Structure 1
Amino acid sequence: MHITFALIALAAQLAAVACLLLYRRNGARHRHHVSWLAWLLVVVLGGSSIELALHAKHVGLFDAGKSMLLALFVFTSRGNVARLLRSESR
């Protein structure tokens, strides 16, 4: 059963990396700290997916859920890391 969770986690991580790499600014301001954070996210998610693909460790439900949630957050922000960091002021 852990192979199924590993495949789910791997697919979610690769999808999030692809979404981050394919982000287009379309007139948005360039912020250095946000671009460094986006680069760090790509490195960590990419490295984690490579490690997961090479070393079939035990992946549980919570690991797969964590990867799915992170991918969901990246997709809802459409790859815009600044939108992930922004707080809503009311």
Structure 2
Amino acid sequence: MTKTLTLLALLSYASTCLRLLCYRRGLANHRLHISLVAWLLIVATGTSALEILLDHGRASFGEAGIALTLCYLVQRAQGNVANIIRSIE
């Protein structure tokens, strides 16, 4: 079960990181605080994926759940962090 959760977390973190990296803002306004949050999410999810990939970490049920939820939110917003934050408020 632990290997399955770890693989699920790895795929979720990698997918989230790649989606955020590939986001194109188009005509949207540039906002520094949103860019900073997006950068922090890219660093955090990329680091977590690398830790799991390099066998330095294992995912628990809670961590896999958080990774899946974050991945869902980012994919639903098409990588637009401002939309994620706006939908929370």
Normalising by structure 1, report the TM-score: 0.89
Mean Cα deviation higher: 31-40 or 53-62 = 53-62
Instruction: State the distance in 2 between where 1:88 and 1:60 align.
Output: 25
Query: Could you tell me which amino acid in structure 2 is paired with residue 20 of structure 1?
Result: L
Mean Cα deviation higher: 18-27 or 56-65 = 56-65
Q: How many residues align?
A: 89
CA deviation string 1:12-40 (max 9, x = no partner): 00000011011011200011111111011
Instruction: State the distance in 1 between where 2:25 and 2:16 align.
Output: 17
Q: Percent identity?
A: 38
In structure 1, runs of 5+ residues without a counterpart are none
Query: Could you tell me which amino acid in structure 2 is paired with residue 15 of structure 1?
Result: S
SS for the counterpart of 1:86 is helix
In structure 2, runs of 5+ residues without a counterpart are none
| Aligned residues: CA RMSD | 1.7
Q: Which runs of 4+ in 1 moved over 3 A?
A: none
Instruction: State the distance in 2 between where 1:62 and 1:31 align.
Output: 32
1:41 lines up with 2:38 in the alignment: no
